[in-house]
Amino acid sequence: MAGISLNGAYNHFIQDYVSKDVAHADTHRKDELRDVYKSIARINKNSPLYLLTDDDKSRNDAIEIKERARQLQGNIIGLNNQEDKLSLDHTSGYTSDEEKVVASYIGKTPDEDIGKTGFVIEVSSLASAQVNTGRFLQKDSFGLPAKDYAFDVRVGKQEFEFQFSIYQTDRNIDIQDKISKLINKANIGLASNIIEDSQGRSALQITSTKTGLRAGESSQFEVYESSSGLAVGSVAHLGLDQVSAPASNAHFTLNGEEKSSISNRFTVGGKFELTLQGPTTTEPVFVGVKKDNEALKKHISSLIDNYNGFVKDAAGDKDVKFKSDKLKSEIVGIAKQYMSTMTDTGINLEADGTLSIDDELLTQAISGAESDISLAPVKQFSSALIDKAKEISVDPMKYVDRPVVNYKNPDNKDTSSPYITSEYSGMMFNNYC
């Protein structure tokens, strides 16, 4: 009985207080975890002894503060996918003919690649899927006797058996429709549909969802009669094994060097993801990297939105034991510190502590010749917000009322108590453990 109660309490708190999402800030290397430990130890080295009140409200406030800080940190870090998570550099891949080749930049070193990294591509053929087109039959004719049938399909190295029944009233179109639905429902990498010719006859067409052929492969799939003991003849009657278009690879050149791919979408050098749209019949297509001002503008707007959301959340919580004014003033203080230099970029501090953006000034700052210098304060502001979020996450209890019981003796060499600030992590259990 006690075990049931314990599980119920645990599940209740897990649903209420455990984060519902996993941000990039939640993944840590060994050195990052070591830094967190050192931060906790440093804070506690000369920290006084506090009396933590035994009430749910204080515990809930501490957990909520930590979660908000973690969310703020994760949201800011998640604004780009570069190695330098504080970078404001946003880039995009481009091509000289996007009707033939589409490119996206996936590199991690934009400063080194803008205007310097690129290549020429010529596409001679696209990768294609295998298509089997069956026999065209009169829709209302009766071709197969009423029996239980089966046929096998090999896709890659896997084999599948399809079984179905034909009744005396089933016409050719009914049988084709039945098999088409079976194949589509199986979700084995094949797509089936019924096509018609100019004479109104119907045929079953099966297409592989993948394109190209790997080394040693001769086909994407094969259809053949089953040896399970059920009736055979459906493959031959419907022509399911007739290959009308074999799978083929994409063929192209990169800077004159012959290449091939089983797909029309692939990466080049770990910096570009290309999607081939069609053969380059007239002239080669150039692929390069350029600055993406729209993405940069969106990045800065999202940064300000995350800051404003944190400030509004802090200001909205009014509780005797929650020091919301202290939390808000510390966050707003960071904005005030960089405001004198961020005003030129169109970012302004409002009376309630939130930030607003002058769209026109921000666009000018981003597109200007000295944009790196103009946006340096924004990068510093972003870095300061992340540092503050980390600090709050390490010791959220300082924003909850906690009377001082005893100060450490400054004359003695105190040892660090690295887990004192982490007492809130056990709050979910201390009422029944």
Q: How confident is the model at residue 429 (pLDDT cuts 50, 70, 90)?
A: very low
What whole-number distance in Å separates Cα of residue 323 and Cα of residue 331? 13
**What whole-number percentage of the chain has pLDDT above 70?**
76
Least confident range from 74-78, 175-179, 197-201: namely 74-78
What is the length of the chain? Answer: 433
Question: Is the pLDDT reported for residue 12 higher than 60?
Answer: no
Q: How far apart are the first and last CA of the chain?
A: 15
**Token pair for 389:** 């979020």
Residues 6+ apart with CB under 8 A from 283: none
Least confident range from 121-135, 261-275, 319-333: namely 319-333
Tell me how many degrees the CA angle 333-354-82 measures, rounded to the nearest 5. 80
Half-sphere exposure of 170 (CA within 13 A, CB side): 18
Average pLDDT, the chain: 81
Give the pLDDT confidence score for residue 292 in this predicted structure: 78
Question: Is the pLDDT reported for residue 49 higher than 70?
Answer: no
Q: Ranked by mean pLDDT, which of 98-107, 125-134, 283-292 comes out on top?
A: 125-134
**Token pair for 327:** 């939390």
Across the range 342-363, mean pLDDT stands at 88
Q: How confident is the model at residue 91 (pLDDT cuts 50, 70, 90)?
A: confident
What whole-number distance in Å separates Cα of residue 334 and Cα of residue 76? 15
Give the pLDDT confidence score for residue 295 in this predicted structure: 78
Give the pLDDT confidence score for residue 52 in this predicted structure: 63
Question: SS3 for the chain, per residue?
Answer: CHHHHHHHHHHHHHHHHCCCCCCHHHCCCHHHHHHHHHHHHHHHHCCCEECCCCCHHHHHHHHHHHHHHHHHHHHHHCCCCCCCCCCCCCEEEEECCCCCEEEEECCCCHHHHCCCCEEEEEEEECCEEEEEECCCECCCCCCCCCCEEEEEEEECCEEEEEEEECCCCCCHHHHHHHHHHHHHHHCCCEEEEEEECCCCCEEEEEEEEEECCCCCCCCCEEEEECCCCCECCHHHHHCCCCEEECCECEEEEECCEEEEECCCEEEECCCEEEEECCCCCCCCEEEEEEECHHHHHHHHHHHHHHHHHHHHHHHHCCCCCECHHHHHHHHHHHHHHHHHHHHHHCEEECCCCCEEECHHHHHHHHHCCCHHHHCHHHHHHHHHHHHHHHHHHHCHHHHECCCEEECCCCCCCCCCCCCHHHHHHHCCCCCCC
**Token pair for 392:** 């709050």
What whole-number distance in Å separates Cα of residue 125 and Cα of residue 119? 19
CB 335 within 8 A of CB 408: no
Question: Is the pLDDT reported for residue 323 higher than 60?
Answer: yes
